[in-house]
Amino acid sequence: MFSFGAVLYEMAKGAPFRGESSGVIFNGILEHDPVPPLRLNPGLPPKLEDIINRALEKDRKLNAGENSCNSSIDAAI
């Protein structure tokens, strides 16, 4: 699900995590949240930002698995 969120984020406004080396990128993925996509792209639908944020959630309990994200996608469509 995280990879899906990363692809959606990149489609909306570029790579969610950047760095000069793979170590810096991995650290960003593990320790930081990306800049909210709506801040970088104000024209982005808020529901899409919700889907991206849920997919990029690192805590699986908060992500609640595929069913929860699928419900968000269905509601946005």
pLDDT at 51: 92
Q: Which domains does the chain have, with CATH numbers?
A: 2-76 (1.10.510.10)
pLDDT at 50: 92
At residue 11, does pLDDT exceed 80?
A: yes
Mean residue pLDDT of the chain comes to: 80
Residue 49 and residue 37 in contact, taking contact as beta carbons nearer than 8 Å:
yes
Helix ranges (DSSP H) in the chain: 2-13, 22-31, 37-40, 46-56, 60-63, 65-76
pLDDT in tens, 62-75: 655 555 555 655 66
Please state the pTM of the whole predicted model: 0.66
At residue 40, does pLDDT exceed 80?
A: yes
